[in-house]
Structure 1
Amino acid sequence: MRGLGWISVAIASGRGRVTQHKINLDTVLLQSAPYWDAIGPDFAARMTGAPEQEREPEDTNVVPLRVSNETPIYDNNTGWAMVAERLREQDPAIFNAWLSQLTALEGDDTSITLGAPSKFVAQYVNTHFLQRIKASLVAIEGGQRQIKILCLED
């Protein structure tokens, strides 16, 4: 790599120190430019600053997240309807991707049980969004209830 000029010595070794090298990025980019198209046309466009070409929808392998513009129907007896609405207003993207999948199973003065469509969703929501759900529940009701998230799959 030194022979190609891609790296050079920044600080030479001496007195027990190891040589430090630096990457000559301009040289690397200049010499690798003919191969950018092999990586992909989008990479070549980004590297040259050219605007990216629009691809046809069938050319993409991106799977869009589920978007729910409808207001979900929840069991009002548990208090989940108001909590869900508050969470949706706070962060629509997270709500649509994760929290909209939850359904109220049962609730009383001390706890609320929510159902998730899969074990993965139940664990993810429990790990990443449980405190957010609890905070919204406290803000709406004023008291604290235990929240359980169960998987609805067998």
Structure 2
Amino acid sequence: MQNARLTGPGAGAEKYDILTALAVKGLASSGTLQTSILRLVALVTARYNWISGEMAIGQREMAALWSVDERTAKRETRRLIDTGFLVLKYRGVKGRVAVYSLDISAIYSSTVDEWEKVGSDFAARMTGRYGLSGQAVATPAAATAHVVHVDFTSGTRAGAFSPWERMLRLLEDAHPAHFTSWYARLTLLRAEHGVVTLCAPSRFAAQYVDTHLRREIEHPLRVCFGPDARCEIVSAV
């Protein structure tokens, strides 16, 4: 669903819903993430071509739009790409500016916790489009006995001194934006025979973590589970 083109009946409403979800996510965040999302909303509102599903814009134009220098604009663009909201389709070359697209699925997944703040009708509408939900996805019955449940809203977390808990804390410290959007949604199914199996709440989430975030996971995984440990990511549905 990356770089989805929003056309046809209902496309106009979905565009506004995506911007709403981003804005509410930004308001619920703080510091660097809040600023990044505000800049993304401004960029999309001003320059995004929803029909083609992309925008062509140079670093100088970004800097002007955001009221920053070009170095800051370059750093911010990289941060938005690393966070998963923005995708670089074509690099800028002589005489041509770079082309970017939105990762619509990543935006849906990253903002899901904020949908109810807009209203139950908004949450239902967003859920219906991509099959996502703000509620925890049930873990398959066959794996229930192996699941380590972690309460991220509590001051004292379950399994506070377990390898899994230490791994989570390393990820949270090193990658706070990715932790909130992705790592906090993972559960540990089992760790045996050198294989650590993690469960994501959806097939999309499992594929995204496996494709885009595996490098970030591997170091803390080996620190906490052993130098020869490897990771397997599965989905709950």
Deviation, structure 1 residue 132: 1.1
Alignment correspondent of 2:221: 137
- The answer to whether the 8 A contact 1:83-1:140 is kept is yes
CA 1:152/1:87 → structure 2, altered by over 3 Å: closer, same or farther? same
User: In structure 1, how many angstroms separate the alpha carbons of the residues matched to 2:204 and 2:179?
Assistant: 16
Considering fraction of residues, name the structure with more strand: 1
> 1:70 maps to what in 2?
153
Q: Match of 1:112, as an amino acid?
A: V
Do 1:78 and 1:108's aligned partners in 2 also have CA atoms closer than 8 Å? Answer: no
Cα distance in 2 for residues equivalent to 1:86 and 1:145: 16
1:85 matched to which residue of 2? 169
| Equivalent-residue separation in structure 2 for 1:77 and 1:132 (angstroms) | 21
Residue type at the aligned position of 2:180:
N
Amino acid at match of 2:215: Q
Over 3 Å counting, the alpha-carbon distance change for 1:130 and 1:76 in structure 2 is farther
Coordinate RMSD, CA, aligned: 3.5
How many pairs align?
97
Give the number of the structure whose residues are more often helix, by fraction. 2
Which AA in structure 2 matches 1:70? T
**Distance in 1 of aligned mates of 2:164 and 2:152:** 18
Q: Label 1:140 to 1:69 Cα distance change in 2 as closer, same or farther (>3 A).
A: closer
Conserved in 2, the CA contact under 8 Å of 1:137 and 1:144? no
Of all paired residues, the percent bearing the same amino acid is 26
For residue 104 of structure 1, the aligned residue among 177, 188, 196 is 188
1:148 matched residue in structure 2: 232
Structure 2 unaligned blocks of 5 or more: 1-44, 47-63, 68-106, 115-150
Instruction: Output the amino acid matched with 1:95.
Output: F
